[in-house]
Amino acid sequence: PNTFNILELWKKYTDYKKSIIEETTISIKYASVQRYLTRMPDHKLDAPKIREYLLNNYSQAMAWNIISSLKSCCKWAVESEMLAVNPFEKCFIKKPKCKSNQEHYKAFAKEHRDLIIEAFELHEHHSHYAPLVKFLFWTGCRLGEAFALTWNDISDDCLKISITKSCNFKRIRKGTKNGKRRTFPVGKDTKLHNLLLNIKTDSSTGLIFTSFKGCPMTSTTLNNCWNRKGANARLGVVAEMVRDGTIPYYLKPYATRHTFATWAIASGISPDRVAYWIGDDVATVLKYYCHPETTVSDCPDF
């Protein structure tokens, strides 16, 4: 007979997963499920009651996500001979419809990109982050990859950038998102080249981009100056620009990556080269990062 409760099983499943998946996934996704399970008044392995509790206390999307995770957990437990059957196998919650990702899959127009860069450069409180914002717009680098860059990753002449690692909000260094290492080529005397030369000093050895206080960068830090600093405090730079009508719409910081890819392709760079530069595959670039509506032009008369 089964002697495990659901929280005990989840902890064992998490320990098993630690050997085969990224530590960041464990610290975010798996730890989150454990927190929800810990809050439950009863940890008995009773799938219908767990489903009822989740639906009564959380959104359908959250309940569906947790039940899906528990179903995978118990499937592993059956395969490991800890359980005879998977109690969540027929525990059904209708999968919620995904909200449109259209607003996330969007790029800034070049003039809006340049206005954002200028706004950061001139901002009273957030000008410190202007070099990072420029770098993200001009390389299409993932946020965590930029946060993890050190001067050892930059060639002495600042013409090559080695992107081999990433850093998440818990400051855990790891490989890039998909494990692809790449070298980003910096054109001589380009804006990016001049940026790197200007911010580098003879003693530069550590992280290239840090917080205002010199701490490692995190997504939260960037979002605070980009969007809003605290629930009741002043708007961040980009949110403030939208409010004032300087730019027409708000996009998250990750839109810097979409903006780079979109305008690189619009400028005639082949998709395979763009895919290499940003560390992705061509199909993903064309599906998610290419936004021709941002580069609207008249159709040629053919």
Residue 109 confidence (pLDDT) = 92
Are 260 and 137 spatial neighbours (Cβ–Cβ below 8 Å)?
yes
The predicted structure's pLDDT at residue 137: 97
Residue 282 has pLDDT above 80, yes or no: yes
Residue 216 to residue 99: CA distance in whole angstroms: 33
Highest average pLDDT, of 16-20, 126-130, 213-217, 228-232, comes from 126-130
- Using pLDDT thresholds of 50, 70 and 90, give the confidence band for residue 299: very low
**Region 101-124 average pLDDT:** 86
Tokens standing for residue 273: 């080269």
Rounded to the nearest 10 degrees, how much is the dihedral formed by the CA atoms of 267, 270, 276, 278?
A: 30
3-state secondary structure of 92: coil
Q: What residues form DSSP beta bridges with 173? A: 167
Helices (H), 80-226: 110-122, 130-139, 143-148, 191-199, 219-226
Q: Would you place residue 286 in the very low, low, confident or very high pLDDT band (cuts 50, 70, 90)?
A: confident
Ranked by mean pLDDT, the top range of 1-15, 117-131, 160-174 is 117-131
Residue 207 DSSP SS3: strand
- Per-residue pLDDT at 296 exceeds 70: no
| 241 vs 100, higher pLDDT | 241
Q: Are 138 and 264 in contact (CB under 8 A)?
A: no
Question: Taking the model in full, what pTM does it have?
Answer: 0.69
For CA atoms 162, 168, 169, 173, the dihedral sign is: negative
